[in-house]
Structure 1
Amino acid sequence: MTTHRHTNTPRDAKWDYDAAMADRAWWIVASCLGLCSLVHLLRIGRAQLRKRRSGVSQSTDSPRGDRGDRRSSVLVRTARAVEATWNDVVFLRTLPLWLYTTTSLAEVFWTVGYMTACILLGMYPTISHGQDWANPMGHISFHQVPLIIALAGRNNIISFLTGISILQGLGPHAKHPIGSPVVTTGIIAFVGLAMVNFTSIRFIRAAAYEVFLIAHVVFVLMFLVGCYFHFEEGNYWIWAGFVVWGLDRFLSLCKIIVGNKLWLLATSQKRDTSECLVELVSEGVMRITMARPLLHWKAGQHAFLSMPSVGGGPHEQHPFSFATVPTKESRKAVFLIKAHNGVTKRLLDHLRSESQTVPMYIDGPYGVSHDVSSYDTVLLVAGGTGITHVLSYFIAVLTQAREGNVQTRHLHLVWNTRHSSHIQWIGPLLNDALVDMPTSLSVQIDLHITKSPAGSDPDAETLCGMGETKTALPGSSDSTPVDSPILRAADNEKMVVPELKIAAPMTGLSPQATAYLRWNVGRANIAQIVQEDAKAAIGPMHVTVCGPTQLSNDTRGAVRTAGAASKVFSGQQSITFNSETFGW
């Protein structure tokens, strides 16, 4: 015998009709996510196919710059040009929405399309049956709660399936006499949702991250509780949201326990669960190294660190990007952190020396990792501490190259940084990564000193002209001699020829790692770099950038110009682009 929740009354029929509209919205969302998942799987398959072909292509020993690939059929070049046009319009063109972040048209299309679908489904009962619009819109709003919580969670299965991360939402409704419980709870839910959006504004998050974190949790709970009592017939959506949130917290707890081996707290080895080495590598910048044998992560991912000894409760976790990837030789996770206000400033003040062990706990990994090793040419662009993110990809390609599992022929790292001494941030990591390099991979590192040596930066003058040995290492540029990095002046920048000094100890670089490094004065000419690498590529090219907004926009514009559909149709290889922005 089946028990129905509603009797067959006009009100119940109306309620069921409104609920059916919400179910249709879920079908639309599921269809879109299914399509995105299919595209993601096809991209993964395409990358694996390129890798399988790498052995054949590398056996031909085709030099970089060989344009024989330009004789591809018209059909192939047309398909590539169409793909380039799609990437240009959807992913490379942006709207300057400074309030949150630079928004691509793909995000705009998704947001507008999703909101339009929800509004039309919510208004359809009003248009077709003359019903009031409040309750149908309420159903549409309530049905989104589990989806929003799922998208906002750290363990995001939607990002895993689609390779993207989306967070959208709509607001609740109210239609009852003022002062009634329905209106009161609706106002509570509305205020909670409004405050969630207000405290998420970019400059508020940057100025007071801890306040934002606590306020975000409080106002989300305020919204959910208000919704639960506002519309009891639909509160099963709220229960579903709490279940999704609880599952996300449970998975994060499991990661914390396993990653930090917390079961050792009850043994004599409890120090092994939290000890981390914190080094002050330059003014305001710290390098954190932690050994976590059970932690598995990939390039481009991040983790949340909590530091009980420097203040703050267990809830105070901050996201930081991995600067390394696990290898057979080492499973040490490294992070580069620049001190701002809050816990990072307290950590800096907590240090009593340039190197000190500090107990920390890690929660991760999180985020989507892109397989860049399937591209012929990989260009990684960074500004300041954005080097942390791209360095993990750089090391990942080098690691896979030694294993013979890459399609990449040319790996190019470009880093804009204020002082030449900043190379010490990543010096030890480059020393470990740039060993036993295969001759099939060309590696180039361009360090651009944005604070000219003609100014107040004396270090830039002491880090140039390190010897005169002319023997090139395998995989390095033929024009880059061992122990002799090149100092070049950027456009319109005065060239300064410093006194020759042996500066390897100051940089922290080994002679072998130094051979891959070129020193440049002034900011990198991103447009020229992208164009040169694109012309030399004999296969698909990938560009990743992480740094200030202006650097990201400049790189995006350079990729648009270099990867224009007309050039791809003429035979130039296609270029894919990825821009990473950190923060909340």
Structure 2
Amino acid sequence: MTPPSTQPSGYDDRLAKKQIQFEHIKDLWIFLASLLAFLTVIRILRLLLRLFILSRRVNYVEPLEPEKHDVESTTSTIKTRVNSPIYRLQSAIATTFRIVAFRWSIPIGPGSFASISELTFIFGYMAAMFLWLFLDTRNLKATFYQARAAHLASCQLPLIIALAGKNNLISWMTGIGHEKLNILHRASARTNFIFLWIHTITRTLSGISGRTSFRHNWMRAGAVGMAALTLMNILSLRPVRNMAFEFFLICHIVLVLIFLFASYYHAQIALAGSYIWPALFVWGLDRFIRLVRVIWNNSTFRRKGDPSQSLATVKLLSEDTIIMSLKRQDFSWAPGQHAYVILPTVSKLPFEAHPFTMASISEKLDGTFSKGQARDVVFFVKGCNGFTKRLRDHGVGTVPAYVDGPYGCPPDLCEYATCILVAGGSGISYTLSLFLNLIRENARGKSAVRRILFVWAFRDESYLSWLSKTMTEALSHAKCSLSIELRMYLTAPSTKTSSSNASIASEKDGHSAVKTTTVVSPTEYHPSLKLVHGRPNIHRVLHDEIAACTNGGSISVDDGELMIAPDSCWTSGFDGSRATCPLLRCRCTSSCVKRTPVRHSSR
């Protein structure tokens, strides 16, 4: 009997490794597809539940009683029909989930926070990747996971590219905006980076000679790809991004393309190029859709002979603040969404696009529709460095402009009894569009909102003339059943005097709604604008509004410029004796939240 040779044994090992490798890649994608399907079902159920709740609240919420408000405390009473026990149970479960998943946040780097839900997805994804990497490796034998690490990393490239794209299937199915998927993009990309270095190190330790020597172009391509990937990860660190974002962005795109093409050439030797070309397809599809959007939003045949629709009007509100407005035919967007603006004569590169949140709404405030009419797309821009500095230096006038968008998945606030909108500086773009939409939906009779508190902190009093004009138009369409309070907080020393209208807001142990002194309602502005010199005490504002909801009302808190909490952060009322509240950066007791569901979201 012929003794078995070592060749068949090695051949069998290679067959076993390939079979296990294929099965693990398939299992990983089944796991990710199942998770995506689960989130899609959750979104559909939430949409159906929101429609059901909104229809009931619009039909049953009673009008507000006459009420009075001052700056220090809110004494309004919002009367709504008492919720059923089933609804209270559902609300309590949702509240508990939101507190744990979205309100609790953990620092993950200098100036960077992640919510529990984001960390759950990040560590869950990493755990799944490492599980399928080391499973069935015969006591962690490197020869079994050496190639598998590269294959697992390569098969994730389409997902990584999709998470970075502005137009991606994940956002469409789950309702999660591309800007919030970016943290998952970075986490999956860095996991991919670790896996490819595992492949590189184990391959080097096993010996690079003969067929795997650098005399072969496919090995050289692998080295080039790894060099590009390593440099790309270094430049992606937050300090580098914050210091020179435009430089980072250009380098990032160039290095990604070098990595993908080099990796494809390297992987083709093992017939694994099919893992990589879909990533190029996903990237190209996103760029193609963006190009189609730009052509459609800015095409000549949609302007109907109006040359002004190819230009943006630039006005200076102050020495560092710009109002940029465009007119577009049948260009629609949801309140709180953003668009990418291309200004060829201002940008360094011809197709350089920068995101700005629309500070206007696409439909008329009186509740009618403006189909077939030109719509004003307004952006409130803070001139800082780079592109915005060049735009500020351009001064007043018109510039050729192209719009790509809209993007983002902002919240629908119409189901809540009370909405508190808080913004600082240019963050008003986000909250103002939500405010205008609430006015419009109230005029249409499609909103359950009975009170809106609009809070804006800013440094330059010259902003008030622009805001007063906007608010005058908006408030003229508000129904008398809707209570609106506008609080403007001027954080810089005022250059104007309004002593005849001034009153003093005293502090009460540091818990007043304002941290300093004078409250002014200037006669030259809309009488509803309450101008306060000082900074808002957000804790006190929320405390008063929540305390005012005595009959089971619901509150939504939305902020621009992340004044309150990091991205994707929600807060809810709860029944507990005491808990840490990162939203307010303070200690909250159950007496301040009562049993009022509160929802917080940030831009």
Measured in 1, the distance between the counterparts of 2:242 and 2:362 equals: 31
Matched, 1:38 2:41: yes
Aligned mates of 2:565, 2:90 — CA distance in 1: 30
Alpha-carbon distance, 1:427 to partner: 3.5
Within 2, Cα distance between the matches of 1:65 and 1:319? 40
Asked if 1:458 is matched to 2:507, the reply is no
Aligned to 1:520: 532
Pick aligned residue for 1:93 from 104, 108, 114: 104
Q: Which amino acid aligns with 2:254?
A: V
Label 1:531 to 1:495 Cα distance change in 2 as closer, same or farther (>3 A).
closer
Q: Does 1:429 align with 2:470?
A: yes
- Which amino acid counterpart does residue 157 of structure 1 have in structure 2? L
Q: Deviations over 1:157-215 (max 9, x none)?
A: 21222122422322223215455355543333333233333323334333323212211
Helix, strand or coil at the partner of 1:114: helix
Pair 134,565 (structure 1): closer, same or farther in 2 beyond 3 Å = farther
Measured in 2, the distance between the counterparts of 1:390 and 1:264 equals 30
What is the CA-CA distance between 1:566 and the residue it aligns to?
A: 5.7
By how many angstroms is 1:334 displaced?
Answer: 0.4
Question: Which residue number corresponds to residue 277 of structure 2?
Answer: 239
Q: Quick one: distance in 2 between partners of 1:132 and 1:259?
A: 52
Contact 2:419 2:451 in 1 (8 A): yes
State the Cα distance separating 1:320 from its structure 2 match.
Answer: 0.7
In structure 1, how many angstroms separate the alpha carbons of the residues matched to 2:500 and 2:59? 40
Corresponding residue for 2:246? Answer: 210
Checking the alignment, whether the CA contact within 8 Å between 2:62 and 2:81 is kept in structure 1 is: no
Is 1:503–2:539 an aligned residue pair?
A: no
TM-score, structure 2 normalization: 0.80
Task: Report the equivalent of 1:363.
Answer: 404
SS of 1:185 mapped into structure 2: helix
Q: Which residue number in structure 1 is paired with residue 60 of structure 2?
A: 57
Contact 1:81 1:566 (C-alpha < 8 Å) held by counterparts: no
Percent of pairs identical after alignment?
Answer: 29
Is 1:539 paired with 2:553? yes
For 2:455, which of 402, 414, 423 is the aligned residue? 414
Deviation at 1:100, TM superposition (A): 6.5
TM-score (norm 1): 0.83
Question: 2 CA distance for matches of 1:349 and 1:29?
Answer: 48
Which segments of 5 or more consecutive residues in structure 2 lack a partner in the other structure? 1-10, 67-75, 364-368, 572-580
Change (3 A) 1:114 1:558: closer
Which SS does the other structure have where 1:373 is aligned? coil
Contact 1:545 1:552 in 2 (8 A): no
Deviation readout 1:251-279 (Å, 9 max, x if unpaired)? 111110111124579x9x48345211110
Distance 1:497 1:341, change over 3 A: closer
What residue in structure 2 maps to residue 350 of structure 1?
Answer: 394
After TM superposition, list the pairs within 5 Å mapping 1:81-480 onto structure 2.
81-99=92-110, 101-127=112-138, 130=141, 131-164=143-176, 165-166=180-181, 167=185, 168-169=187-188, 170-171=192-193, 172=196, 173-174=199-200, 175-176=203-204, 177-178=207-208, 180=214, 181=216, 183-232=219-268, 233-262=271-300, 269=305, 271-327=307-363, 328=369, 331-351=375-395, 355-451=396-492, 453=493, 457-459=494-496, 461-462=497-498
Output the amino acid matched with 1:547.
E
Aligned partners of 1:81 and 1:565 also within 8 Å? no
Are residues 68 and 149 of structure 1, via their aligned partners in 2, closer, same or farther at CA, if it must alter by over 3 Å? Answer: closer
Change in Cα spacing, 1:161 to 1:264, as seen in structure 2 (3 Å) is closer
**Match for 1:431: what amino acid?**
T
1:289–1:52 distance in 2 versus 1, CA, 3 Å: same
Contact 2:78–2:417 (CA<8 Å) still a contact in 1? no
Whole-angstrom CA distance in 2 between matches of 1:273 and 1:390: 26
Larger CA deviation: 255-264 vs 28-37: 255-264
2:598 is matched with which residue: 571, 575, 578? 575
Deviation at 1:105? 1.2
1:103 counterpart SS class = strand
> Equivalents in 1 of 2:253, 2:582: separation in Å?
40
Q: Is the 8 A contact 1:490 1:521 kept in 2?
A: no
Equivalent residue letter for 1:227: S
For structure 1, which runs of at least 5 residues remain unmatched after alignment?
1-7, 467-484, 505-513
The AA in structure 2 aligned to 1:54 is R
The more displaced of 358-367 and 558-567 is 558-567
| Structure 2 CA distance for partners of 1:494 and 1:37, relative to 1, 3 Å | closer
Report Cα offsets for 1:105-158 as digits up to 9, x if no partner: 111111000000011011113147955212112121111111111111111221
- 1:197-251 per-residue CA deviation (whole Å, 9 max, x = no partner) reads 3323334333323212211101111221232123222211211111111111111
State the aligned residue count: 532
Deviates more, 1:112-121 or 1:532-541: 532-541
Rounded to whole Å, the distance in 2 between the matches of 1:210 and 1:83 is 40
SS of 1:394's equivalent in the other structure is helix
Helix, strand or coil for the counterpart of 1:426? helix
Q: Secondary structure at the match of 2:553?
A: coil
Sort the Cα spacing of 1:386 and 1:465 in 2 relative to 1 into closer, same or farther, 3 A.
farther
Q: Report what 1:471 is aligned to.
A: none
CA distance in 2, matches of 1:564, 1:35: 34
Check whether the contact 1:77–1:571 (CA below 8 A) recurs between aligned residues: no
Whole-Å Cα distance in 1 between the matches of residues 245 and 292 of structure 2? 25
Contact 2:519 2:532 in 1 (8 A): no
| CA 1:370–1:551: 2 relative to 1, 3 Å | closer
In 2, Cα distance between equivalents of 1:77 and 1:398: 28
Structure 1 contact 70–572 (Cα < 8 Å) conserved? no
Following the alignment from structure 1 to structure 2, what is the Cα–Cα distance between the partners of residues 202 and 227? 26
- Go from structure 1 to structure 2 and tell me whether the alpha carbon gap of 1:135 and 1:338 turns closer, same or farther (over 3 Å shift): same
* Residues 485-538 of structure 1: per-residue CA shift (max 9 Å, x gap): 97746666553488x96433xxxxxxxxx2332222221111111122222234
Separation (CA, whole Å) in 2 of partners of 1:251 and 1:540 = 39
Deviations 1:61-94 (A, max 9, x none): 6786367767853x65444333222211110111
